[in-house]
Every structure is written in structure tokens, then in C-alpha cells.
């Protein structure tokens, strides 16, 4: 006699389709339900009996919610960063938290390079000024500098940082990185230069690209002091986490001309409030940020292929936990 699975996997947010990728992986093991919640408040009374949770980026999972979970065997963060989950609270409840660190490596690296090229070649600025009726001329974007030989600085040499470094190197850039957690010799294996400190990296970077996680150590690490250490006329690209950059200091650096441009795929609050000063400056044709700031809606991860890969891998992590198999990518070792 066929028995329905008794285990329950709940997807807290974002995904609200027929769940075919998850059901293909978990079929016969667990039922799958998507809540499509917009906030943690919407989880109350709906997740307590889950055997595993898949959490995307929209909701936070605080200690209050985690401590109400009665039989949860795993929390899977469907993504790379896991700063929206209280991993210490989960450890205290003996619940492993896993992420999916490798699903969008190509997409984010491509996006970081694409944003850099759009900035340093003046592509967005020239396009928008022509649309507004400007002259058919390169002068509005001047001065632009040749990329070859200029320093591409990377903060965080993980999977995505490494992929970005290789792409920048292929453009003839001089790639340097700062990552105190990488073992000695990584730079030799990849043909990169290692900076001994963040300050050393900042002082030489024509383009600074961020690829580190958001932690207490990195929160607003790129502040007014850090931006001042960048050479005048340099560029900042952030496809990591919004909280790494102090956007108020960033606006000041753009307004003064110290920064020639910035591209942000991530913000500390997503979506930002309607009257956010960053949005106001970006939308104001009279503000220097209008032409020299690129904003994208936390989309660097996205392709149809990466999204499908993410969903399969998140479901597979739940399957391993429910079947008692060895777990991969545990970020809160019990």
C-alpha cells in the first residue's frame, strides 16, 4: 500500500509556483509547502511542525521563531549569505543550518564585471544622457581611463571573488585581493597579488569589488574612512551584501567627485523605503549620483539556470537531513 510521506518541508518565502523542482527531489520523502511570506510575523503558527525549512532572502529567521520549531532537523538558506538566520540560536536548538554557496558563481562574477565595465566605460551615463536629448558625443563621460594594467581590488576571495578575479585578469587588469581567512599560497596558485591589509588594498584599487559575507566584522566596513583611502577617481562595485557599505558616506564621496562611480546590486534594506536618500540622489538629474551610480535590485545571482540549480540543491540538502545522510555546507557546526 502506498503511504503518503509524513515529513514536512516548508519554504518560507519567495517561491510560490507549483514547486516542481523541490517535489522532484523530495518526492516520497516529504510533502512540500510554500508560504510565500513577506515577513517573519507571517510564519507564526505555520512553521512549528516543519521537519525542515528552506529560507530564501525575504524573511528573517530569529531566535524567537527558531525556538518554536518542534521537530526541525535542518534549516536550509536557499542562497549564499545567511545573515538573515540566527545561526547561533539554531545551534542552541541543535538544528544545523546549511547554505547553497555555489549556485550562482558565474552569474554574480559576470554581473560584477558587467557593472564595472558599465561604470568605467561610461555606458549608462552616455545612454541616459542621449535619451535625455544630450549631444552625440563622448564628452559627458570624460575622463575615462584604459582598464588594462589598472588595479582591480577584491575584498573576499571565496568562490565568487575568485571567479571575478579570473575575469578581471582576462581583461588585462592587475588583480589584488584582501582576505585574511585564505591560506598562504592561494595567490600563487591563482596568479594574483595578496594585500596585507584592507588599507593596502584600498590605497591601490582603481576598482574595488566586494565579495565578502556580512558579519559583525564587515558591517559598514566600507565607510567614510575606507572610501577616502581609495584613489581619487576610483570605482566601487558591491554584489555582496548592502550592509558592508555605508551608503551615506558613499553619496558624499560621489558628490565630492572622490569616487568616479559606484554600482550597487545590494542595499542594507531591500527594497529601500521610497524616500531613501540614496534613491533620491540617484533619481535627481542635478545630483552627481544620477549618472554615476548604478542600482540593480539584488539581481546579480539571477539566471534561469542558477535559480533552478539553487532550488534543486536546497531541496537536496533537506533530503540529506531527513534521510540522516552526511550534511554539506553546514554554517553552524553543532
Catalytic residues: 241, 270, 298
Within 10 A of 275 (CB to CB), how many other CB atoms are there?
A: 7
Best CA proximity match to 264, nearest among 291, 223, 216, 299: 299
Question: What DSSP string runs through 141-201?
Answer: G------TT-EEEEE--SHHHHHHHHHHHHTT-EEEEE-TTSPTTHHHHHT-EE-SSHHHH
Question: Exposed (0-12), middle (13-18) or buried (19+): which is 254, by Cβ within 10 Å?
Answer: buried
Q: How far apart are CA 205 and CA 229, in angstroms?
A: 9
Handedness of CA 184, 190, 196, 198 (dihedral sign): negative
Q: What are phi and psi of 277, to 5 degrees?
A: -60, -35
Helix, strand, coil % over all residues of the chain, rounded to 5: 35, 15, 45
Q: Are 204 and 151 in contact (CB under 8 A)?
A: yes
First-to-final CA distance of the chain:
38
Note the Cα 126 to chain centre separation in Å: 27
Integer-rounded Cα radius of gyration of the chain: 22
* Residue 317 CB-half CA count within 13 A: 27
Query: Which residues, in sequence order, are bridge partners of residue 10?
Result: 33, 53
Amino acid at each position: 500500500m502506498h503511504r503518503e510521506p509524513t515529513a514536512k518541508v516548508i519554504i518560507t518565502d519567495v517561491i510560490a509556483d507549483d514547486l516542481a523542482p523541490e517535489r522532484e527531489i523530495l518526492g516520497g520523502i516529504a510533502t512540500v509547502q510554500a508560504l510565500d511570506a513577506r515577513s517573519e510575523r507571517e510564519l507564526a503558527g505555520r512553521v512549528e511542525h516543519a521537519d525542515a525549512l528552506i529560507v530564501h532572502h525575504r524573511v528573517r529567521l530569529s531566535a524567537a521563531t527558531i525556538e518554536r520549531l518542534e521537530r526541525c532537523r535542518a534549516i536550509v538558506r536557499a542562497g549564499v549569505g545567511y545573515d538573515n538566520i540566527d545561526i547561533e540560536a539554531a545551534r542552541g536548538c541543535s538544528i544545523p543550518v546549511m547554505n547553497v554557496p555555489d549556485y550562482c558563481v558565474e552569474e554574480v562574477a559576470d554581473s560584477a564585471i558587467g557593472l564595472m565595465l558599465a561604470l568605467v566605460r561610461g555606458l549608462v551615463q552616455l545612454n541616459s544622457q542621449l535619451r535625455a536629448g544630450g549631444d552625440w558625443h563622448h564628452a559627458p563621460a570624460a575622463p575615462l581611463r584604459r582598464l588594462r594594467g589598472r588595479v582591480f581590488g577584491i575584498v573576499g576571495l571565496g568562490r565568487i571573488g575568485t571567479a571575478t578575479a579570473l575575469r578581471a585578469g582576462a581583461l588585462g587588469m592587475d588583480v589584488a585581493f584582501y582576505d585574511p581567512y585564505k591560506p598562504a599560497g592561494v595567490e600563487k596558485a591563482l596568479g594574483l597579488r595578496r594585500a596585507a591589509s584592507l588599507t593596502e588594498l584600498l590605497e591601490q584599487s582603481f576598482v574595488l569589488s566586494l565579495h565578502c559575507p556580512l558579519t559583525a566584522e564587515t558591517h559598514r566596513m566600507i565607510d567614510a574612512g575606507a572610501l577616502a583611502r581609495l584613489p581619487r577617481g576610483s570605482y566601487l562595485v558591491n554584489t555582496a551584501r548592502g550592509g558592508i557599505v555605508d551608503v551615506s558616506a558613499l553619496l558624499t564621496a560621489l558628490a565630492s567627485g572622490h569616487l568616479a562611480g559606484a554600482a550597487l546590486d545590494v542595499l542594507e534594506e531591500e527594497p529601500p523605503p521610497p524616500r531613501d536618500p540614496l534613491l533620491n540622489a540617484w533619481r535627481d538629474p542635478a545630483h552627481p549620483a544620477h549618472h554615476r551610480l548604478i542600482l540593480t535590485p539584488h539581481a546579480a545571482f539571477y539566471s534561469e539556470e542558477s535559480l533552478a540549480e539553487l532550488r534543486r540543491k536546497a531541496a537536496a540538502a533537506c533530503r540529506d537531513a531527513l534521510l540522516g545522510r552526511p550534511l554539506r555546507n553546514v554554517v553552524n557546526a553543532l
